Amino acid sequence: MTGSSGHLGEALVRELTSHGEVVTAHQLAVRKAVEIGFGRYIISATTPFSRDDTALLATDAPALLRRPYPDYDEVHAERGWSMLPTIDRVYVNARARRELGWEPRYDFRYALDRLRSGQDPRSQLALAIGAKGYHARYLHFSLTGSTSALGPDKPLSQPF
């Protein structure tokens, strides 16, 4: 993704969820601990993709994305953004939803709808907490279009 769409693209694969939703998932896990025991859960945005989408994600992610979100191109184009041509991983929260009864609300559709209405796609809690420097340092590419995930102060040859 280029432009400022990096954070929105995260909604597709793993990270866009509300801090409050993360807390809710933990609360549900605590309440159900005796019943379900120990478990590992992915707490992330719900993916629109399935295993059957793997080949197309690896070759033409934008085409696949147009199926559930035919308006995503327009929302991106209005901002000068573009989507990565491929997506190499997707995080699936199905187990957390099934076993914990967790019902996340923040996902790619939510972000698109907020953008379309002129609002920030992040949750109110995320806006209140603000950035703590991680994204500015390690995800510089999502804000500037640079290919360096290490940020402007570290060349690609340097380790984290």
pLDDT per position as a tens digit, 86-116: 988 888 999 999 999 999 988 889 889 988 9
3-state secondary structure 68-95: CCCCHHHHHHHCCCECCCCCCCCCCCHH
Which pLDDT does position 16 carry in this prediction?
Answer: 57
Which pLDDT does position 123 carry in this prediction?
Answer: 74
* 113, two tokens: 């709808």
If you average pLDDT over every residue of the chain, what do you get? 76
Lowest mean pLDDT, pick from 15-19, 68-72, 150-154 = 150-154
Phi, psi of 13 (to 5 degrees): -110, -30
Domains of the chain: which residue ranges?
6-129, 130-160
Which pLDDT does position 140 carry in this prediction?
Answer: 38
Contacts of residue 139, defined as CB under 8 A and 6 or more positions apart, other chains included, come to: 6, 7, 149
Return the bridge partners of 82, or none: 2
Helical H segments across the chain, by residue range: 6-13, 19-31, 33-36, 54-59, 61-65, 72-78, 94-100, 108-116, 124-129, 134-138, 140-144
Contacts of residue 23, defined as CB under 8 A and 6 or more positions apart, other chains included, come to: none
